[in-house]
Amino acid sequence: MKMKPKYCLYCKKELDIKEGTKQLNPKRKFCNDICRNRFAAKKRHTRLKDNEEFKQTNRTRFKNWYKNNKDRQKTNVLNNYRKNKEKWNQRRFVEKHRQEILKYLNTTCFCGNQVKMIMHRTYGDYPKLTGGPSNQEQKDINLKLIEEYTKKNLIGVCSKICLNKVKNENSRI
């Protein structure tokens, strides 16, 4: 006698038999802990979304969070900066030279839309541009350095969705 397949209450995938067991546990309702937690969160949200008292306490909690945690947040940001100083410097470099970098990036995202964001494919050595008197020869050298850095380390995307797709593809490689 074949049992009727059971499905996860959240994602609707068919539940499979766990390793080491011969049959499906009849009490099992979710495929994993993530689905169970998301189902509970969704259920809680639908229960509380129209409750005015809950909305008001949530607003005050949200507004007071930064005021209560300002110093701790400041130290967290500074610690992050100190740990990842090289990445922060490269992001600053890209933002400062955005117009020059956009000249060397592909103007269309891989999905076909216009490029709006610049993403670091890899964090490499960013060029140290030389200043001084603005002669054409020095500007050409700086542009050449920016072009090399752009082709080696940067990629243009149109939105956060495409950014996440590119990051996922890079993590698989």
Per residue in 75-105, pLDDT (tens digit) is 999 999 999 999 999 999 999 999 889 888 8
| 27 domain-assigned | no
pLDDT at 162: 87
**Torsion angles phi and psi, residue 30, rounded to 5:** -130, 155
Q: Which domain holds residue 162?
A: 86-172
Phi and psi at 117, nearest 5°, equal: -120, 145
Residues 62 and 106 in one domain: no
End-to-end CA distance of the chain: 45
Q: How far apart are CA 2 and CA 79, in angstroms?
A: 58
Query: What's the pLDDT score for residue 85?
Result: 92
Torsion angles phi and psi, residue 15, rounded to 5: -75, 135
User: Taking a C-beta distance cutoff of 8 angstroms, is the pair 93, 125 a contact?
Assistant: no
Q: Are residues 96 and 56 in the same domain?
A: no
